[in-house]
Structures are given as C-alpha cells and as structure tokens.
Amino acid sequence: MKTMKLGKLWLTGTAFAGLLALTGAAPRVRADDDCQKRIVRVDHELHRAAQRHGWDSPEAQAKRAELATAREWCWNHAHRWWDEHEHRWHTDRDWDDHDHDRDHPPHGN
C-alpha cells in the first residue's frame, strides 16, 4: 500500500514537473521568436533606407537607432540578441562590436 502511494506521488510529481517545464519554456521561445523577427525586420528596413536615401541620411540614422532599441529589448527580455548578418544568437551584450552596418555600408553607397 505504501509503495502504491509513493508511486502515485512520484507520477504526479513527474507530471507536474513536465508541465512546468513546458509552460516555462513557452515564454522564452516566444520572446526569442519576437526578438529575431523584430531585429530582422528593422535590419532590412535599415538597408532599404540606406539604399533609398544614403547611408548617412536621417532615415538610415533613425533605422540604426531603431535597430539598437530592438537589440536592447531582446537583451532585456531574453539576455541574447539576433545577429542577422551572421544568422546566429549572441549571448553577450556586444552588438556595438558586431555592428556590421556601421563598418560596411550596403554596396553602392
């Protein structure tokens, strides 16, 4: 009888731990997905603005600021940020060191 109660308790605990793991992971996945989509969108808008108005234009400057804000948001929510040029996540708050756009404007500008 005691073994049966321990078995039920173990099964209940395992099921509860599994449920917590699933629900705990969902917000992280959602934040990562939102971060990546947001950064990709703004990065592409930056390149579009640079092609249309020039790399040093106010429009491109505004998109660079928006990209920095998106990276900051990701860092604050997920403690990592998406690098669209390298197609990978960074776990250090080092986007200034990896700012490819600053050092390498789009071709033609």
pLDDT of the chain, 109 residues: tens digit per residue: 666 666 676 666 666 665 555 555 445 556 567 899 999 999 999 999 999 999 999 999 999 999 999 999 999 988 999 999 999 999 999 988 866 555 555 544 4
Alpha-carbon Rg for the chain, nearest whole angstrom, is 22
pLDDT for res 97: 80
Q: Is residue 73 included in any domain, yes or no?
A: yes
Which of helix, strand or coil describes residue 47? helix
Q: Is residue 12 included in any domain, yes or no?
A: no
Q: Is residue 59 included in any domain, yes or no?
A: yes
Q: Is residue 39 included in any domain, yes or no?
A: yes
Determine the straight-line distance between the first and last CA of the chain, rounded to whole angstroms: 79
| Domain total in the chain | 1
pLDDT for res 109: 47
Q: Is residue 10 included in any domain, yes or no?
A: no
Q: Which domain holds residue 81?
A: 29-98
CB atoms within 10 A of CB 8: 10
Residue 14 φ then ψ, to 5°: -65, -45
